[in-house]
């Protein structure tokens, strides 16, 4: 049975473009131009994934309201924000109220469909047993590329899809410096440098919740970021302390 995707977007052209692509991919697509019609439809039946625009016609924060409303109805429903608003405040608020990902309209359609597929995969993977070849282990870090989950010291780190791809890109080749351009390509987003910086900061913060002195993601000023294995970091720390 094909997945049902709902798109809430006030711009007809974009909405239809997205809908066409997704239908092409074999999804069932419902499209809504405003919050009221979307809510009415969702009350009847929830889709499998929702793509939300934030500003709908006159309502500046309609997407956020809709997201909260949906989260109240279901905690597992994947929600993606797809918006023109790329400022940090909106990104943070969007993710904080429960969205699984926050994408800007710069994203290309293949990337969008990949994200959607990834989200569905993650959802499906929750119930499947862990397959060993999908697991990458870096000391206390365990990445399940199938389920798109990351564990740190055996605790799940609540990362968005974008953040997941970033950590994945860094941890796949520890010790190698990934510059921002590479990170963008790997995490399939198209943003500016400072957005990368703030994503990294957020990732660090999420890891720090589990381990207060988490320092595996190292900033290489002027170049990018690098994943340092925990034991290497501790060794470096010791040698620094010794020196």
Partner 1 sequence: MNLYSTRSKNQGFIRIGLRTKLLILSSFLFTIPWFGYQYVWEMEKYLRYGQEQTIVGTARALATTLHDRPNLFDNQASFLASVEKGKDLYGFQIRQPIQLDGRYNDWPDFEGKAHFYEDSNIIWQEPNQTVSLRFNAAVGKYDKYLYLFFNVVDDKLVFRGNNARSIYLNDHLTLSLTAPDGEHQQYIVSNKNAGWIESFQLDNQTNRPQPINYIQGVWQPNNTGYNVELRLPLDYVGNKIGFSFADVDTPSSKATSLVGSANTSDPEQLGTILVPSPEIERIVKGMSYTQSSIWVIDKHQRVLASAGDINSASGVWRSTASTNANSGIWPTWWHWLQTNLLHPLYYKVLTKPTQDFYDQLYDESHLAGEHIEQALSGEVHSQWRLSTDKQAVILSAAYPIYIDEQVQGAVIVEETTNGIKTLRNKALEQLFTSILAILLVGTISFFFFASRISNRIRQLRNHAEVAIDEHGRVKEDLPALKGNDEIGDLSRSFSTAVSRLTQYNQYLENLSSRLSHELRTPIAVVRTSIENLSMYPIPENAKAYIERAESGVHRLNHIITSMTEATRVEQLLQRTEKQSFNAYEVIASCISGFKQIHPETTFNFQAPNQKANVLGSPEHFAQMLEKIVTNAVEFSCDAQVEIMLITVKKNLILTVKNNGELLPETMENRLFNSMVSLREEALVNSESSLQSSQPSSKSQPSPNSQPHLGLGLFIARLICEYHQGQISAQNCFDPNGVQINIEIPLTE
Binding site for partner 1 (CB under 8 A): 11, 13-14, 17-18, 20-21, 24, 84-89, 104-106, 108-110, 190-195, 197-198, 219-223
Q: Output the smallest distance, CB 175 to partner 1, in A.
A: 15
Per-residue tokens: 197: 């910086």
Nearer to partner 1, 106 or 158 (CB): 106
Distance CA 143, CA 148 (A): 7
Nearer to partner 1, 18 or 81 (CB): 18
Q: Output the smallest distance, CB 139 to partner 1, in A.
A: 24
Distance CA 11, CA 214 (A): 43
Distance CA 29, CA 18 (A): 9
Q: Output the smallest distance, CB 87 to partner 1, in A.
A: 6
Nearer to partner 1, 43 or 173 (CB): 173
Nearer to partner 1, 193 or 231 (CB): 193
The answer to whether 118 and 107 are in contact (CB under 8 A) is no
Distance CA 145, CA 138 (A): 13
Distance CA 8, CA 225 (A): 36
Q: Output the smallest distance, CB 59 to partner 1, in A.
A: 16
Dihedral pair phi/psi, residue 132, rounded to 5°:
-60, -40
Q: Output the smallest distance, CB 32 to partner 1, in A.
A: 17
The answer to whether 7 and 32 are in contact (CB under 8 A) is yes
Q: How many CB atoms lie within 10 A of CB 158?
A: 11
Distance CA 5, CA 8 (A): 10
Nearer to partner 1, 87 or 127 (CB): 87
Q: Output the smallest distance, CB 112 to partner 1, in A.
A: 9
Nearer to partner 1, 43 or 194 (CB): 194
């Amino acid at each position: 049975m094909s997945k049902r995707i709902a798109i809430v977007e006030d711009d007809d052209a974009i909405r239809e473009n997205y809908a066409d692509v997704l239908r092409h991919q074999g999804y069932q697509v419902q499209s809504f131009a405003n919050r009221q019609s979307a809510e009415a439809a969702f009350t009847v039946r929830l889709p499998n994934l929702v793509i939300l625009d934030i500003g709908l016609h006159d309502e500046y924060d309609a997407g956020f309201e809709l997201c909260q409303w949906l989260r109240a109805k279901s905690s597992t429903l994947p929600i993606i924000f797809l918006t023109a608003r790329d400022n940090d405040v909106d990104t943070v608020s969007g993710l904080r109220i429960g969205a699984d990902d926050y994408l800007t309209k710069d994203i290309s359609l293949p990337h969008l469909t990949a994200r959607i597929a990834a989200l569905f995969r993650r959802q499906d993977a929750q119930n499947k047993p862990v397959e060993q070849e999908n697991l990458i282990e870096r000391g206390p870090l365990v990445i399940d590329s199938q389920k798109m989950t990351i564990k740190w010291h055996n605790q799940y780190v609540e990362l968005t899809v974008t953040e997941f791809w970033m950590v994945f890109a860094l941890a796949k080749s520890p010790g190698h410096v990934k510059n921002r351009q590479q990170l963008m390509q790997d995490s399939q987003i198209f943003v500016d440098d400072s957005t990368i910086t703030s994503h990294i900061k957020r990732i660090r913060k999420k890891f720090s919740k589990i381990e207060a002195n988490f320092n595996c993601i190292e900033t290489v000023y002027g170049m990018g970021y690098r994943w340092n294995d925990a034991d290497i970091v501790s060794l470096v720390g010791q040698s620094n302390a010794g020196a």
